[in-house]
Amino acid sequence: MFWERDIETMPRKELNRLQVSRLKKTLKQAGHSPAYGKIFKAHRITPEKIKTLDDLKRLPFTTKEDLRKHFPYGFVTVPKEKIVRVHSSSGTTGRATAVFHTLKDLEGWADLVARCMFMSGVRRGDVFQNMVGYGLFTGGLGFQYGAERLGALTIPSGSGNSKRQITLMGDFGTTVIHIIPSYALHLWKVFEEMGLDPKGDTQLRIALIGAEPHSDATRQRIEEMYGVEAFNSYGLSEMNGPGVAFECPEKSGMHFWEDHFIVEVIDPKTLKPLPEGEEGELVFTTLRREAMPLIRYRSKDLAAIFPEPCRCGRIHRRISRIKGRSDDMFILKGVNIFPLQIDTVLMTLAEVGTNYQVVLERENFEDKMIVQVEVRPEFFKGDLRQLERLRRQITESLKSEILVTPKVELVEPDTLPRSEGKAVRVIDRREM
Ligand code: ADP
Ligand code: ZN
């Protein structure tokens, strides 16, 4: 049931004690980096003063801007001879950041990923196909080392090359995949084109999906399309990458590993801590990192911490599905909208295909939202009135969720742009 029973079911009090002792060590370690050396001095912080977890709240935040300011080596605490790898964020929102690892860091990370995979049911004997980018992106090597640690046969197939992915699945009898959800939707269509059905023609049983915001409706679609159990996987390169938070078989929230990270939720505007259960920005403090510990790192990702214990028996708390980054939100006619809301509506409708895109435009000082939706090909063959009915239905469903009326355009499959990595869902042309 558990990869590391002692740690996963450790009583809360003991876990808190462990956190405090690791936090003290982390602060001491962090002080060795030029960046934190300066920050600690300016704020008169001495690690010895930290006695409880509450004391952490008096320390300043670390932001992506701080990482950029001290790029590349400013947050590194060890001599270069001890660093063995660098990873980088995908650069989804601006210049990428660099994160460095010692061998011990990489081992700790692999342990975490193995713990997550085991929790979702992956075992020795499974054939695991890792269908995301290898290289600076953390999803490739992060899962590779985690899966090897667990003992699964691992196929490092990388991203793209859909037909080959499908062939590999057949050749080696893949049972578990790691895949970006938007790509999973696309790949299903390639199966169809090849005259195959992932349900009957593969041995797949588990899909680990993450790296981008997606709704529960998308997860359910992937489960139905592939005949698998799909588990939400959350991570960010600044906190290693994958392995930060992961769903257990209860599939109600993602456990975050409190022996490796302290997680806080703050109001992104006031920066004040929010009570458990309220949604806000996730803030992370590493507890085991050697080369590049980070203190109160503001992730910009929005979620809530569930206070209730999980039925699976793990003590480590859970976060809700990530709503997106605070800067994913856009404002249209005074209404705040998250792309995830659109995902939820569209992916619930069976007529909707596997891709969509949101375009924001400004015309005569008026903002417009155009939602382009790929729909099943049969709608373009028959009665055009059927297509128009569907268009109206989608418009209504979107309106009742986001409270503004978008202009909906229905298009044929494979006509919208697609990315091999994280999907780009919103194109904002209003400032151009
Ligand atoms: P970048 O920040 O440039 O995209 P990363 O590769 O480090 O680079 O991506 C981490 C980010 O991806 C997270 O901060 C989060 O916004 C998003 N992300 C990762 N996993 C998930 C997930 N399961 N659900 C929603 N968003 C996710
Ligand atoms: Zn659980």
* 180-237 tens-digit pLDDT: 999 999 999 999 999 999 999 999 999 999 999 999 999 999 999 999 999 999 999 9
Q: Which atom of ligand 1 is nearest to the CA of 91?
A: 3
- Is pLDDT at 90 greater than 80 in this prediction? no
Query: Amino acid letter at 298?
Result: R
Q: Is 240 in the pocket of ligand 1 (CB under 6 A)?
A: no
CA 190 – CA 178 distance, rounded (Å): 17
Q: What average pLDDT does range 414-430 have in this prediction?
A: 93
pLDDT in tens, 342-364: 999 999 999 999 999 999 999 98
Query: Which of 331-364 are b and which e, b meaning 16 or more Cβ less than 10 Å from the residue's Cβ?
Result: ebeeeebbbbbbbbbbbbeebbbbbbbbbbeeee
The pLDDT of residue 432: 65
pLDDT in tens, 268-310: 999 999 999 999 999 999 999 999 999 999 999 999 999 999 9
- Cα of 258 to ligand 2 centre, how many Å? 13
CA 356 – CA 373 distance, rounded (Å): 4
The pLDDT of residue 405: 97
- Cα of 121 to ligand 2 centre, how many Å? 12
Pocket mutation for ligand 1, best pick of 132, 216, 234 (most atoms within 8 Å of C-beta): 234
Percent pLDDT > 90 in the chain is: 92
Q: Which atom of ligand 1 is nearest to the CA of 422?
A: 4
Phi then psi for residue 352, to 5 deg, are: -75, 140
Ligand at minimal distance from the CA of 301 is 1
Q: What average pLDDT does range 401-423 have in this prediction?
A: 95
Length of the chain equals 432
Q: Is 92 in the pocket of ligand 1 (CB under 6 A)?
A: yes
Structural domains of the chain ordered from first start? 1-326 (3.40.50.12780), 330-428 (3.30.300.30)
Q: CB–CB of 265/328 below 8 Å? A: no
Q: Residue 324 corresponds to which tokens in the numbers above? A: 């997106």
Q: Is 237 in the pocket of ligand 1 (CB under 6 A)?
A: yes
pLDDT in tens, 387-397: 999 999 999 99
Ligand at minimal distance from the CA of 95 is 1
When computed from its CA atoms, the radius of gyration of the chain, rounded to whole angstroms, is: 22
Indicate the pTM of the whole model: 0.97
CA 117 – CA 122 distance, rounded (Å): 5
Pair type for strands 297-303 and 305-306: unpaired
- Cα of 233 to ligand 2 centre, how many Å? 13
What does the CA dihedral 417, 418, 424, 426 come to, rounded to 10 degrees?
30
Pocket mutation for ligand 1, best pick of 143, 322, 325, 327 (most atoms within 8 Å of C-beta): 322
Residue 157's pLDDT band, with cuts at 50, 70 and 90, is very high
pLDDT in tens, 37-88: 999 999 998 888 888 999 999 999 999 999 999 999 999 999 999 999 999 9
Q: Is 218 in the pocket of ligand 1 (CB under 6 A)?
A: no
